[in-house]
Amino acid sequence: MTIPPPAEIRRIAYLGTPDLAVAPLTALVEAGFEIPLVVSRPDTRRGRGGGHQPSPVKAAALALGLPVTDDLADLARVEVDLGVVVAYGRIIPASLLDQLAMVNIHFSLLPRWRGAAPVERAILAGDATTGVCLMAVEEGLDTGAVYRRDEVAIDPDESLDELRGRLVDIGVAQLVDAMASGLGDPEPQVGEPVHAAKITAEERRIDWTDDAVDIHRRVRVGGAWTTFRDKRLKVHRTALADADGTPGSLDGTRAFAGSGSVDLLEVQPEGKGRQDAAAWRNGAQPTYSDRLV
């Protein structure tokens, strides 16, 4: 489908699911576009009570008074000029793309890191830069031509949430500008595609024989964990340190890696809340023989 010129784009269907997809939806509404339908993933069970909770995008859409569905087929029942996709979480079928042109905000420098976890993979790989692409949606996974591309440096201590927040701001600016001034001619992706698979729980486990830089990256992505005295210990924040020792051993709040070390700043023992690492150490009182595993 051909994307219409900006003067003809007034009604936009929005497809998104997580927190990072809320700001672009809000920006479109604030820019005066009509959103006849928001499509998000189905409600999920959360919490101890097992109640169903809406996705962040669904919750935001309802707060804005917008109609929401979790059925893609409902798009055929509304009149829209364009579809905007941000972290929706499903491949859009070709039959729907034949009826409605769509653009997608993707948080990487395509074709590097196509897929579900582009920002996480960029951090884990130690990429010096990443970026945001406003791209055409095709049936393939993040294969479409690119209308807008912005590159940003990754700070070596930046967390996933911090980096993703910056990228969302850039993506919102790209989208609003494109809707106002037109998309122009897209450029095909050039280079070797790299897939950004979801981060597994096992990938989040810290291997203390790794280099300290790699461990610090894993912590920055979020959800990093290790074990201490056979119980899980989440590691929320670290800082690189320049000292060597036995991997997994502790010196105060300093944890030694295969090469180098990290200072533990914020941790979470099993069954407890997040806390300053110094407070955890004072309570746990690690001995010389204790190890993080």
Residue labelled with tokens 């820019």? 31
Residues 38, 173: one domain? yes
Residues 180, 271: one domain? no
Residues 115, 221: one domain? no
Give the per-residue pLDDT at 4.
Answer: 83
Residues 73, 180: one domain? yes
Residues 267, 192: one domain? no
- Among candidate residues 170, 196, 222, the one where a domain is terminated: 196
- Among candidate residues 163, 196, 229, the one where a domain is terminated: 196
Mean pLDDT per 10-residue run, the chain (293 residues)? 84 97 98 97 75 92 98 94 96 93 98 97 98 95 96 98 98 96 94 96 97 98 98 98 96 97 98 96 95 97
Q: What DSSP state is assigned to residue 211?
A: B
Q: How many independent structural domains does the chain possess?
A: 2
Domain hosting 61: range is 6-196
Q: In terms of DSSP H, where are the helices of the chain?
A: 22-30, 56-63, 94-97, 118-124, 160-181, 212-221, 277-284
Q: Tell me the C-alpha distance between 148 and 186, whole Å.
A: 8
- Among candidate residues 164, 196, 228, the one where a domain is terminated: 196
Give the per-residue pLDDT at 48.
Answer: 63
Residues 179, 227: one domain? no
| Cα separation of the two ends of the chain | 53
Residues 180, 217: one domain? no
Residues 261, 157: one domain? no
Residues 66, 171: one domain? yes
Specify the pTM.
Answer: 0.94
Q: Is residue 202 part of a domain?
A: no
Q: Tell me the C-alpha distance between 292 and 6, whole Å.
A: 57
Residue 133: CATH number of its domain:
3.40.50.170
Residue 289 half-sphere exposure toward CB, CA atoms < 13 A:
0
Give the per-residue pLDDT at 49.
Answer: 63
Residues 189, 50: one domain? yes
Q: Across-strand partners of 235?
A: 267
Residues 180, 218: one domain? no
Residues 14, 128: one domain? yes
